[in-house]
């Protein structure tokens, strides 16, 4: 196994242990808010510290971009970490959350790990080598279009500037698909698209750590990831569509009439 994937998997498991250990004592956790509807707990912080320590031990010169502690160092190798994606779910005892770790080398996603510590599902990908779930190859679904498709999304909850645009997209996609789900962990949403459990996904306003690993999973599982206008700038804009290629293209058609130029800028 790629040694950098091995260490990312180890770090994700360690973080997962901290998360599950605390899942039956959420009423006793210290929680603070980083902004409106944006919470952080000691679990997010401890899980992040464990991941960073492990990576640092092995790769002291690599840079880090982590949700809770920000940017550290400058290097061609950057680890992008969300120690607990789906914090709101976690804090409500709603078992849909994950650890997400990605490695970018010279601006290109090379390694991605998403770990669901409740179901013990480990999703992994290395560029050019396909995507795996618990060591078994996964593929995006074979659905031919929106007819019968199950889609995932994230509802606006912090930034409401584009809510009307989003509602237009939602209305169009509800009508044309078999259903839309809002599970609450973007990292897992991408992993589900990679595993063919959902046919497509879109969200506005994600941060790089939410879906860097997930985007590589979808691509390596044979899917397509673009920004909300169909371009390449999804990591920068955080406005993203993912899916098998046919579903992605059909979603894009429904989404394009509801775009604001600021969403692709
Ligand atoms: C959030 C989750 C959620 C998505 C939000 C993210 P967090 O991450 O991925 O599904 O809708 O945009 O911020 O804050 O729980 O790590
Ligand atoms: Ca997140
Ligand atoms: Ca998080």
Residues 130 and 180 occupy one common structural domain: no
Ligand 1 test: best mutation among 44, 180, 210, 215, most atoms within 8 Å of CB?
210
Residues 157 and 251 occupy one common structural domain: yes
Residues 55 and 123 occupy one common structural domain: yes
Contact 98, 128 (CB under 8 A): no
Out of 115, 138, 161, a domain closes at 138
Answer yes or no: is 114 within a domain.
Answer: yes
Contact 156, 166 (CB under 8 A): yes
Residues 89 and 202 occupy one common structural domain: no
How many domains are contained in the chain? 2
Relative to the CA of 90, which ligand 1 atom is closest?
A: 15
Relative to the CA of 203, which ligand 1 atom is closest?
A: 11
Question: Is 135 marked as a binding-site residue?
Answer: no
Residues 124 and 15 occupy one common structural domain: yes
Out of 110, 138, 166, a domain closes at 138
Residues 7 and 133 occupy one common structural domain: yes
* Whole-number pLDDT of residue 39: 67
Contact 14, 116 (CB under 8 A): no
H or E element at residue 230: none
Out of 88, 110, 138, a domain closes at 138
Where the chain has pLDDT below 50, the residues are: none
Residue 97 C-alpha to ligand 1 middle, in angstroms? 9
Which are the contacts of 132, defined by CB distance < 8 A and separation ≥ 6? Answer: 123, 124, 125, 138
Answer yes or no: is 143 within a domain.
Answer: no
Residues 34 and 134 occupy one common structural domain: yes
Answer yes or no: is 119 within a domain.
Answer: yes
Integer Cα distance of 143 and 125 in angstroms: 22
Answer yes or no: is 203 within a domain.
Answer: yes
How open is the CA angle 220-223-225, to the nearest 5 degrees? 100
Output the ligand 1 site: residues, CB below 6 A: 82, 85-88, 154, 184-186, 203, 206, 210
Residues 190 and 253 occupy one common structural domain: yes
Residues 133 and 217 occupy one common structural domain: no
Integer Cα distance of 117 and 88 in angstroms: 16
Residue 146 C-alpha to ligand 3 middle, in angstroms? 30
Tell me the residue range of the domain where 190 lies: 150-264
Residues 7 and 39 occupy one common structural domain: yes
* Whole-number pLDDT of residue 230: 97
Which are the contacts of 8, defined by CB distance < 8 A and separation ≥ 6? Answer: 55, 79, 101, 103, 111, 113, 124
Integer Cα distance of 135 and 131 in angstroms: 9
Answer yes or no: is 45 within a domain.
Answer: yes
Residues 157 and 241 occupy one common structural domain: yes
* Whole-number pLDDT of residue 86: 96
Which CATH number characterizes residue 38's domain?
3.30.540.10
How many other C-beta atoms can be found within 10 angstroms of the C-beta atom of residue 70?
A: 8
Residues 252 and 158 occupy one common structural domain: yes
* Whole-number pLDDT of residue 36: 65
Answer yes or no: is 145 within a domain.
Answer: no
How do residues 45-89 score in pLDDT, each as one tens digit? 999 999 999 999 999 999 999 999 999 999 999 999 999 999 999
* Whole-number pLDDT of residue 50: 98
Ligand minimally distant from the alpha carbon of residue 87: 1
């Amino acid at each position: 196994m790629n040694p950098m994937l091995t260490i990312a998997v180890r770090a994700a498991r360690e973080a997962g242990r901290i998360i599950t250990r605390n899942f039956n004592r959420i009423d006793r956790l210290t929680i603070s808010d980083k902004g409106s509807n944006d919470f952080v707990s000691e679990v997010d912080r401890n899980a992040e510290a464990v991941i960073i320590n492990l990576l640092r031990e092995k790769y002291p010169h690599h840079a880090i971009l982590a949700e809770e502690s920000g940017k550290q160092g400058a290097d061609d190798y950057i680890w992008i970490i969300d120690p607990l994606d789906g914090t709101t779910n976690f804090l409500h005892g709603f078992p849909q959350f994950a650890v997400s770790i990605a490695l970018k080398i010279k601006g290109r996603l090379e390694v991605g790990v998403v770990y669901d510590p409740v179901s013990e599902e480990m999703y992994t990908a290395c560029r050019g080598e396909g995507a795996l779930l618990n060591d078994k190859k996964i593929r995006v679904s074979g659905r031919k279009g929106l007819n019968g498709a199950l889609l995932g999304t994230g509802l606006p909850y912090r930034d409401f500037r584009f809510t009307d645009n989003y509602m237009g997209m939602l209305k169009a996609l509800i009508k044309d698909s078999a259903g839309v789900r809002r599970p609450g962990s973007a990292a897992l949403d991408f992993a589900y698209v990679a595993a063919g459990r959902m046919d497509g996904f879109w969200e506005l306003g994600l941060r790089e750590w939410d879906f860097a690993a997930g985007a590589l999973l979808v691509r390596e599982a044979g899917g397509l990831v673009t920004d909300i206008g169909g371009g390449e700038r999804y990591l920068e804009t955080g406005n993203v569509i993912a899916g098998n290629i046919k579903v992605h293209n059909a979603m894009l058609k429904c989404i394009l009439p509801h775009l604001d130029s600021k969403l692709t800028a």
